[in-house]
A and B are shown apart, each in its own frame.
Chain A
């Protein structure tokens, strides 16, 4: 299978704190991958590196075969750097795109604490996410010369909302929706950017077991329907074990295990990381 996303020796250091240390992983096309780990393990930091919110201190991230983010320690960081593979990317060109450029490449994300556009209704929330494909410039957009494009965007929004079961809520304010629907809307909004890779940051946070089960089915369904590859951060083990093809486990910023859900469940290091190690004499 073709590798869609790969991280090579990615390190993210804030001052003296190494939040992500020498993380290497790959996501193949059509997979559902889970990234798990105890609180503060650096999962969201890794997400923020992939999506361009943070500029990693060291390492290379490639998407669809070509490098999209490359960096190596420079300046003051050269002295401070506490990660591994110091010189590995020293001769490569630094690439640090902004999050919107990453999204345009086909990587969409959701957030751990839902971030919808508060003042807009459900319809406009999804419609806004299609702005990145808009071809008409501001003049023709204002004078409604390119209205055909706008109409196409509206039709696509309608289709997407109907598929996600949100059509009846289209005129509601996004923030007035029930929690589960807000999550769903956030995913629908991410889908509106037409991603190939979908990053979900704790999609089941705050959900009860029943809702979590529904979410698992939902993720599988959209994966098939939109030909997606999914990388998710999750704490709910039922969800992780139920739908992921492979699991990566982070602890204190470093990768401690990788494998199928069954392998992870019986991995001693993972159990130790989650439950703590007995200090026997």
Chain B
């Protein structure tokens, strides 16, 4: 039993090390403008939000749709904090307002602050909202996310958020350096490291006693309460932690996009994440990660040709024009949701045994066919 566990852990670590090694190798060999980096970075960032949403929807059984709002809080916090003071005061960004904050922080402090601000908001939003159940909770959180976005664009907050205008020139992915030096740090690797640490923490949480309490609440609220688990406290805890990581991923998204604007954090973003969680399998961390990379690769890369005129060698500019990609994409998603309704992974995790049996099954079937 214990040996099996150790072997399993070793395999997981080797697999993760391989992924990070591969990212580092790509980073030093390919052109930095390669589409692969876009997919890897955005995929990793979406993985983190998807996993944080899965913690709430999949492991605690709370159907919440506030993710975009907490990402927005994280993105704005990060951008405002890490924008160099000189930029803030030079009217290059805050053209119509006098910037309120006259200091700037480093990348790591910015990321942590982004998570904390999102978590603090989640705490206060959770107080009234988490007393609601199922659909009502979804509606209320969705409403709060929209309110946060609207308030962010409010003129009165202009000195802080720059109103409805862009925030830019903060410490984005092109400006990451090794600590205490000017040597640039490979940006994709940076995203992977931050996301990796965050997901590791979530996995540790899910496998701790608190994680078991979350799962108990998901399985049966009445029984969980009868076993001495305080429903409200644990729901609030899950909500705050989930929002903390959503805040960090929002900050990463801001770094990835080089600019921040409240417009980017519409409800559509939450639905995208929800879709990834459902496709990956509700209650599966590895499923969420796989699904987000697939989703981003499809939408940003593999189906690009559908908008550009040429797809799979077929040149049909009349059919393959702007917007056609969305159509095909929607059909693919509908097929997935209809025929794989439990998602890619169900509520299981990816493991060596599952991969092996999957391929073994393939080979057997082929042999049988012969």
Contact = CB atoms under 8 A, between A and B. Distances in A.
Nearest to B219: A117
A129 B212 CA distance: 9
Contact of B204 (A108, A111, A115, A142): A142
B230 A98 contact: yes
B215 interface: yes
A103 B226 contact: yes
B205 A115 contact: no
Interface of A: 51, 53, 98-101, 103-104, 108-109, 111, 115-120, 124, 127-132, 134, 138, 141-144, 150, 153, 189-190, 192-193
A100 B212 contact: no
23 contacts: A51-B226, A98-B225, A98-B231, A108-B227, A115-B220, A116-B219, A116-B220, A117-B216, A117-B223, A119-B219, A120-B216, A127-B209, A128-B212, A128-B227, A129-B228, A130-B209, A131-B209, A131-B213, A141-B209, A150-B208, A150-B209, A190-B227, A193-B227
A100 B230 contact: yes
A222 B219 CA distance: 27
B212 to A, nearest CB: 5
Interface in B298-340: none
A52 to B, nearest CB: 8
- Top 9 closest pairs, chain A to chain B, by CB: A132-B228, A103-B228, A115-B223, A117-B219, A99-B225, A141-B208, A129-B227, A128-B212, A100-B230
Interface string B223-252: 111111111000001000100000000000
B205 A127 contact: no
A193 B209 contact: no
Interface string B197-217: 000010011001110110110
Nearest to B228: A132
Given A117-B220, A120-B219, A128-B216, A153 B227 contact: no
Secondary structure type dominating chain B contacts: helix
Contact of A99 (B208, B213, B216, B226): B226
A127 B225 contact: no
Contacts of A189: 227
B347 interface: yes
B218 interface: yes
Nearest to B230: A100
A131 B219 contact: no
B208 A142 contact: yes
A115 B218 CA distance: 12
B222 interface: yes
Contacts of A153: 209
A115 B225 CA distance: 11
A138 B205 contact: yes
Given A100-B231, A119-B218, A119-B347, A131 B226 contact: no
Nearest to A175: B219
Contacts of A103: 225-228
Contacts of A150: 208-209
A242 to B, nearest CB: 27
A51 B228 CA distance: 11
Given A108-B227, A119-B283, 12 more contacts: A99-B226, A100-B225, A100-B230, A111-B222, A111-B223, A115-B222, A115-B226, A119-B347, A124-B212, A128-B227, A141-B208, A190-B227
A182 B283 CA distance: 24
Contacts of B229: 100, 128, 131-132
Contact of A100 (B210, B220, B228, B283): B228
Contacts of B213: 128, 131
A192 B227 CA distance: 9
Nearest to A117: B219
A127 B209 CA distance: 8
Given A116-B223, A119-B218, A138 B210 contact: yes
Contacts of B219: 116-120
Contacts of A98: 225, 230-231
Scoring B225, B237, B241 by chain A CB atoms within 10 A of each residue's CB, the highest score goes to: B225
A239 B290 CA distance: 54
B334 to A, nearest CB: 27
Contact of A193 (B205, B228, B237): B228
Contact of A142 (B210, B216, B220): B210
Contacts of A124: 212, 215
